[in-house]
Structure 1
Amino acid sequence: MRVTLRHSLLATVALAALPAAVQAQTTSAAPAPVDSAAPAADQLPAPDTSGDEIVVVGSANPAGQRRREAGYAVTTLSNEAIMAAAPISAADVLKLVPGIHAETTSGVSGPNIQVRGFPTSGDSKFVTMQIDSLPIFPVSSLAFLDNSTQIRLDETIKRVEATIGGQAVLFGNGQPGATVNFVQKNGKTDPGGLAEFTYGTGSQYRFDGYYGADLGNGWYGSVGGFYRTQKGVRNTQFPSDQGYQIVGTIHHEFEDGSFTLYGRQTHDQNAFFTAVPLIRTGPDNDIKLRPFPGFNPTRDTFLGNANRIVTFNIASNGTNTPVSKTVDLAKGRGIDHHLVGFDFDKTFGDISFSNKLSYAAGTTPTIAQFTGATPVTLGSFITSQVTAANANATATAAAGRPATGGTATLISNGQALTDLNQFVQGIGITYVLKKIKSFQDEARLSAEIFEGNTLTGGVYFADYDSDDTWFTGHNQLMTVQNNALPINIVLNNGVKVTNGSGVYTPTALALHNVYHGRNEAVFLTDSWRITPKLKVDAGVRYEWEQVDATFQNSARANISTDPLALYDYGASVLLPSTRPVEYSGSHAAFNVDANYEVFHNVNAFVGYNKGYSLPTFDDLRTNVRTTSKVDQVQGGIKTFSRLFALDLTGFYNTFRGQPASQLLADGTIVNYLTSSDTYGVELNGEVRYNGFALAGQGTYQHGKYVAGGPGITGNQVIRNPDFQARVTPSYTFDTPVGGLMFYATGSYISDRFSDLQNLQPLPKYYTLDVGASLIMHNGLEIRFTGTNVTNTLGITEGNSRVVGSGVAAGGVFLGRPLFGPNYQVSLKMKF
């Protein structure tokens, strides 16, 4: 890791920003006592909205502040609320956060996460996930890799905090969108242990454990994690999700300070689910979805034992010599990743110091199916291949004559397929391997310069790498059915349309890029309690970015040694030569907000920030060097009492210069540059009375593109629903053995569009989840959850591999549907 002169000066700049002589005593960062009348929201299957809990996300003070006193909207989720919602992944937790729409229909990994008004075509660029207030990886989202893929939920997580914009634009990686902080348990704050066993739909078997203890002499330790295996709601015939996570912490308290050392090891394999064929009827504003014949969209999957192992040819470096590559789709979009972090806090007289650092490294494969073309009849497919073969002079010459037809057989057993009206589908097989590592450090110094006014200066440094290898394309011909069967096609002149795995197209995009990035930032904030009721926060950040990359050149070539092998013509191949790519840039962010206690239990807040997003590795890969700029205004009220709690937030943002890219089925990359304006309101609240509670979250927004070119300007912002809501009634009562709670959650997602051109509408849908828990006096807890129990057919994505509507004759198109009913029963023992 190289350290520049600028980096060595950052700490000096931060120190110089603080007064040299501070006479007043530093304000204590200890949490204020919780109002005994505040509602015990963490006993409900909903976000904690009491307002008195201490939150650290977006806070200049590393020890945090009361949520109701923050000048920005914050959602907090207790461990109980998370478990009651039965999320399938870290990204799925965000369904509980107003203003965020998480698409998790791909499975545990590979989500698309949309933040209100932020125009992103996929992935999760504007969502940073943190562990104990430091980003998991400095870049929130790379192609085929977002922050949520690098963490798994388990009982080592104490709570989750989330905010959009606000002061979070100043700290860490300066995220202008959503910052989500996963707060870990440790032996001091969370002593004791638990063991939990879970059984669920799709042969799910899971064990979770945690134990924290006082080790004596100011030392505390904890260890926890999980192991699970399951075939999943969509039965892949092999374990779709299988892996483990181990987490450990060591915490030590000493005079005027403390430190925490933690480590996380995650090894998980997760099947990735692609869009499937569906039939749509009705106009765009009232679309009805129907299953494609022979395929259950909420239960079925193309994945299966017959197509799990796939072989295709790639080119030897710089030659036309084919090299056979075999991949295992069971690895999916998994991760093998380790992370070590160290938090240090110390008070030096009138100055408090905090430092957080982490080192992470691992591999993140994507070995997955991606659909692009809609189903066709076997007869029409053979006809198209006859035309393609006869247009290939080399293949026709080798065959000695043109083809007039062909035969199809199942690869699994050699059975001939004679029904030419049978539907078949070409599904691309993508292989991506990312080797990543990162080092991050954030230091803060704080001092009270006069009574009620605290100045904080800090630095952030990140050094990170990604070594990417891609081979996309390799369309595999299959039957359209659950656990699809690969098909072999041979034309009647001897031309081989498919290889031994049913693959009929070559590598569409071969890529090998090595990236190194470095980001350095300084920030200065001031928190001023002007009166006992009025608090104002303001801050500025300036960041420098340097990226050095090496791109391996590529070309098109016919790589087969067999001229009859049609599937190897025109492959994308890597060449021995490389080219350097460099980028350097910088930008500033600013935030100011105020919070005023209107009444004892009512706070009002308002804030404005200017944020940005510097180009990432993937932007440079597509030759985009634009810095996205975001202006956000938000304001609202936070109120609570023994019977109710409510957060109501209005927002407006302008987004300028957001690059987006689309990878088409043939390997072509289409680039866009858009701008948008969005306004709206979000709500988060609950009411309680005599064991009954009603919790709800909702977001209304109106976002439009104001730039992007013909066919885009004036359209609704991609993927973002104008309205989404989630309502959870629950009832808790005492029984002779303990407290019993029943709850249900109804969710609604309004119409959206899957593409920037608004040609792929996604219809609205409703879902219903149910649950019950029994917490016994002896420490045992039994929980039952069921998600999408009504088997709703809703989709979160259209055909991302085409430009246009993607609708074929008869209303056939591709969409990625919700999972069908998923039930889980768990038994937890605390000790």
Structure 2
Amino acid sequence: MKHCRQRALCAAIHSIFAAAATALVAVPAQAQEGAAPAAPAEASSAATQADALGLNTVVVTGVSGGKSKMRSSISVTDIDPQQIADFGPRSEAEVLHLIPGIRAESSAGPGGNSNITVRGLPIASGGSKYVQLQEDGLPVVEFGDMNFANNDYWLRYDANIARIETVRGGSASTFASHAPGAIINFLSKTGEEDGGSVAFSHGLNYKENRTDLEYGGHLSPDLRFHIGGFYRDGEGPRNSSYNTERGYQVKGNITRTFNGGQGYFRAYFKVLDDRAPTYTSMPARADIHGNTLSGFSSIPGFDILRDSQNSIYNTSALAVGPVGTATRVADLTQGISVNAKSVGFEFHNQFNGFTVDDKFRYTSQSGAFQTQFWGLETLAGTLAGFGAGSSAVYVNGPKAGQQVTQANLATGFISNGAAIDVRTPDIGHYANDLSVGRSFKLDGATLGAKAGYYHSNQDIVEQWSISGRLMEVGRDGALIDILGAGGAALTSMGLTGYNDQWGACCARNYDAHYTTDAPYLGLTYARGPLDIDASVRRDSVQASGSYAGPTRLAGGADVDGDGAVTGAERNVYVIDSAHPRPINYKVGYNSYSLGANYQFGKDVSAFARASRGGRAIADRLLFSSNIDAVTGGLSAGADAAAVARVRQLELGLKYRARRDWGSFGLFSTLYHSTVSEFDYDQTRTVGPRLNQTGYRSNGLELESVLRIGGFALNANATYTDLKITSDLVGQAAGTSTVGNTPHGSPRWLYAVSPRYDFGAGSAGLSIIGQSRVWSDDANTLQVKGRYLVNSFVNYHVTPDITLSLNVNNLLDDIAFSAGVDQGSLAQVRALGAAIGAQGVVSSRPEAGRTVSLAVRYSF
């Protein structure tokens, strides 16, 4: 701990470790864990039938005290490993399709970079702004929408997970920082059950191999452990002509119980070293009916379901440093690479009526985002940007040296997109959450109080090197150079310049650090069938550090050192390291949540809740007028931009029933939410990159389960009526979008999963769908609704060996989850005209049909 940045934090950590160690040493050797013996299989099955939605499960995420779902006034969903295995997700974001209320645009692929939100809260800037991903009760990163470091980069689902618990709305505002929308908590196995498993999976029609191994159990009556992980290798669900997936994860924990099973101390670790592809927008034909796009299909030369933007002819690019010369070669085959090492502990004990909990984790993590984005253009459109008389020539590939013509382009299109080389040497995070609680009996009622303090630090250290690059759109597309009217090269190896992409934004350095301190208090009251809880939280965020943007080198630079300034070397931007801008401000916000639940009988209850929460804006506030360039403080009036505030109202009903023929359960929640946020996305191609916007959402969540003998049906649906309520830029420019539906937001999301168990096997489907979405906030272009079908078959060869066949996208449908990139119908028609189609769009689609076979041995 000698490298701790803050002495007070180091002292606190040492004190906590010392106290925990003393407690462990003082525990009598004969102390026994207080867990009840495992129920017989028949009894367990009967309990599952009677409690179809798991309403007896005690909620451990985002709550003041341990209560069952039936008695809690929040919307909670659990998904278990079997549900996830049957669904066969190809990325962590795909797992979230099983949770009602969550909208996960999962088409980015296994590397991450998915957009995740809940209950109509906007995905204005990408990432996961209002939804926090946790591992065992602490966030993997503090802010879910950091540029090139979203929270789904740093988490991997594997066989170590016991269940995923999700709290939507409600007390997520007060029992977590910066997570007013939802907390999605990946809870690890901790060795309660002795045994383990090993599984091997293989892609039958795509290149991917994966091994999962996990094992745990008791070393003594009061000491248990669990350890496991995975290794994978291949291309992933799309073709890349080289391995884009390779990595592993190892996680482990050891738990000592004491105080007659009322206390425990758990230490754990994680090592994650993984690289995987992330996918960009890709072209497809489209049928046009009025202003609605549907009937998508592949264009000649590119399979929208199986190909990717990766190419063996575009694997690297020169990276230019602050002095204008090449400092290294960026590897564009890496996709998203992450390296995380974490250690932590949990302490829990009950004594003299008090309950003490402390969770701590320190994570050292780094990574990179290195890939090619596509921007769809015709040859004529590309040449028009370089002046009269310009021409194009293939740099490499089978047609190297030939002139580019509309006829010899593989698909009829050229990409003028971003070659992205973003390094993130430090996305380190540590957090400690300490709480003390006590309950009291008073006149037949139970009163409870829980006070806590959360402290965390998030580092955001990044260097951006993002250049424009021209290449042929198609499978393994070649690089393309542009020649001027006199034959002089205007580009170099397809590069239009160095760090010149997205408005010449993209020579950047971030050295930002955000410390969050949050005291919180929760109160509970329970009497008979009535439960009431109230909680408050005060988040204070201290931002420090510096950041630097680009400066253009007058006259260009001799990047390759050959003595001449040619082609892309005339257009060079470097980080202006001589003039860094400071970061030095503090912002705070208050949150509250008040809820009541009434249980009308053992099988039905209802609740109501009102909440207000917030989300401090981190790196996306930089490079805007909200930060004073001289002092690093907030500019006058920028408080509203520095924190996004969310208000929510909820009404919920939980019902379950058991009949002679089976059982069923229903969990429904009506919700109303409003949010005002500052929105900044440098990569946006449609609409303003900076804006202050407001939204209003009304909706309904439905979660249901039906079981009849060997048949089971899980059905979830979410209805959201979402509207824009303020649009600072649009209202000022006379192009207001107030009253419109935000782009990419469907009214309906649904997931229907039937399953049938037959003797030694089981089979089932999952149907995941959504209604139509608008492609722009102006509501001029929309994409028809879609659904995808996944299927599985499991067969128990022996009681310990299971064979599984999973098929994702069974019908091989083309599905876009968030509209298309084009700003207008005219652009769609113009691109279509280039290849004789009604329309051509560019968007990020879900992968096509993938079939995998797995064998699992339990021991």
In the superposition, the TM-score normalised over structure 2's length comes to 0.85
Residue identity in the other structure for 2:339: D
Q: Give the deviation of 1:683 after TM superposition.
A: 0.8
Match among 815, 828, 838 for residue 794 of structure 1: 815
2:440 is the counterpart of 1:437:
no
Q: Percent identity?
A: 24
SS at match of 2:739: coil
Cα separation, partners in 2 of 1:43 and 1:131, compared to 1, 3 Å: farther
Q: 2:143 aligns with which of 132, 139, 151?
A: 139
> How far apart, in 1, do the equivalents of 2:38 and 2:719 lie?
35
Cα distance, 1:411–1:731 mapped onto 2, change above 3 Å: same
Distance in 1 (CA, whole Å) between partners of 2:422 and 2:305 is 27
- Is 1:785 the equivalent of 2:798? no
Q: Is 1:505 aligned to 2:505, yes or no?
A: no
2:776 corresponding residue in structure 1: 755
The question of whether the paired residues in 2 share the 8 Å contact of 1:322 and 1:559 is answered with no
SS for the counterpart of 2:386 is helix
2:226 to 217, 222, 226: 222
Give the counterpart letter for 1:450 in structure 2. K
* Residue among 260, 267, 283 paired with 1:261: 267
Instruction: Spell out, residue by residue over 1:200-254, the C-alpha distance to the aligned partner (whole angstroms, 9 max, x if none).
Output: 1322111000010211262212210000112122110111221100011111112
Change (3 A) 1:31 1:599: farther
**2:21 corresponds to which residue?**
none
292-301 or 815-824, larger mean C-alpha shift: 292-301
Shift of 1:381: 3.4
Structure 1 residue aligned with 2:117: 114
Q: Secondary structure of the equivalent of 1:94?
A: helix
Task: Choose from 436, 439, 443 the match for 1:448.
Answer: 439
Q: What are the superposed Cα offsets for residues 525-560 of structure 1, whole Å, 9 maximum, x if unpaired?
A: 1111122x1111111111211101201243223433
Residue 753 of structure 2 corresponds to which residue in structure 1?
Answer: 728
The runs of 5 or more residues in structure 2 that have no matched partner are: 16-32, 501-505, 627-637, 833-838
Matched, 1:706 2:713: no
Gapped regions of structure 1 (runs ≥ 5): 12-27, 388-403
SS at match of 1:748: strand
**1:436 positional shift:** 1.1
Q: Secondary structure at the match of 1:202?
A: coil
- Asked if 2 retains the 8 angstrom alpha-carbon contact of 1:271 and 1:329, the reply is no
Q: 2:405 aligns with which of 394, 419, 440?
A: 419
Single out whichever of 690-699 and 47-56 deviates more from structure 2: 47-56
Query: 1:669 Cα deviation (Å)?
Result: 7.5
Cα offset for 1:488? Answer: 3.4
Q: Summarize the Cα distance change of 1:33–1:633 in structure 2 as closer, same or farther, 3 Å threshold.
A: farther
CA distance in 1, matches of 2:157, 2:404: 49
> In structure 2, what is the equivalent of residue 677 of structure 1?
696
The one-letter amino acid of 1:555's match is T
Secondary structure of the residue aligned to 1:251 is: strand
Amino acid across the alignment from 2:751? R
Q: 1:142 to 1:210 in 2, by over 3 A?
A: same
Distance 1:754 1:687, change over 3 A: same
Contact in 2 for aligned 1:695/1:727 (Cα 8 Å): yes
Which of these residues, 533, 536, 550, is aligned with residue 537 of structure 1? Answer: 533
**Structure 1 residue 654: deviation in Å?**
3.3
Q: Return the alpha-carbon distance in structure 1 between the equivalents of residues 650 and 684 of structure 2.
A: 40
Q: Distance in 1 between matches of 2:824 and 2:358?
A: 47
Which of 489, 507, 518 is residue 496 of structure 1 equivalent to? 489
- Write out per-residue CA displacement over residues 336-377 of structure 1, whole angstroms, 9 at most, x where no aligned residue: 1112120001123121101001001111211122223x2312
Q: Where does residue 19 of structure 2 map in the other structure?
A: none
Matches within 5 A, 1:617-766: 617-624=619-626, 625=638, 626=641, 627-642=643-658, 643-664=662-683, 670-708=689-727, 709=731, 710-734=735-759, 739-766=760-787
Contact 1:38 1:50 in 2 (8 A): no
**Where does residue 391 of structure 1 map in the other structure?**
none
Task: From 465, 470, 495, give the equivalent of 2:464.
Answer: 470
Structure 2 Cα separation of the partners of residues 41 and 218 of structure 1: 27
Deviations for 1:780-812, whole angstroms, at most 9, x for unmatched residues?
111111011111111124565979985350333
Structure 1 residue aligned with 2:74 = 72
User: Where does residue 199 of structure 2 map in the other structure?
Assistant: 196
Counterparts of residues 261-410 of structure 1 (less than 5 Å): 261-280=267-286, 281-285=288-292, 287-307=294-314, 309-314=315-320, 316-317=321-322, 319=323, 321-323=324-326, 325-372=328-375, 374-377=376-379, 381-382=382-383, 384-387=385-388, 404-406=389-391, 408-410=393-395
Q: Larger deviation: 76-85 or 254-263? A: 254-263
Structure 1: distance between partners of 2:268 and 2:599: 38
CA drift at 1:439: 1.4
Taking structure 1 as reference, are residues 157 and 805 closer, same or farther at Cα in structure 2, changes over 3 Å only?
farther
Structure 2 vs 1, CA of residues 238 and 83 (structure 1 numbering), >3 Å: closer, same or farther? same
Q: Could you say which residue in structure 2 is the equivalent of 1:565?
A: 566
Aligned to 2:28: none
Does the 8 Å CA contact 2:764/2:791 hold for their aligned counterparts? Answer: yes
Between 222-231 and 474-483, the greater mean CA deviation after superposition: 474-483
Distance in structure 2 (CA, Å) of the matches to 1:715 and 1:337: 41
Alignment of 1:768 onto 2:789? yes
1:827 aligned to 2:855? yes
Aligned to 1:20: none
Residues 82 and 240 from structure 1, CA distance in 2 versus in 1: closer, same or farther, beyond 3 angstroms? Answer: same
The two structures have a TM-score, normalised by structure 1, of: 0.88
Give CA deviations for 1:246-300 in whole Å, capped at 9, x if unaligned: 0111111122421111111111111111001223322224543233332221111
User: Cα RMSD (Å) of the superposition?
Assistant: 2.9
Query: Does structure 1 retain, via aligned residues, the 8 Å contact 2:174–2:591?
Result: yes
Q: Deviations over 1:489-538 (max 9, x none)?
A: 444634213323x222331211101111111111111111122x111111
CA distance in 2, matches of 1:740, 1:479: 48
Give the aligned partner of residue 813 of structure 1: 841
The range that moved more, 570-579 or 811-820, is: 570-579
**2:27 alignment counterpart:** none
Return the offset for 1:564: 5.9
Structure 1 position 759, deviation (Å)? 4.1
Instruction: State the alpha-carbon separation in 1 of the partners of residues 778 and 239 from structure 2.
Output: 34
Instruction: Classify the secondary structure of the residue corresponding to 2:427.
Output: strand
Contact residue 632 and residue 651 of structure 1 kept, 8 A: no
Give the Å deviation of 1:68: 1.8
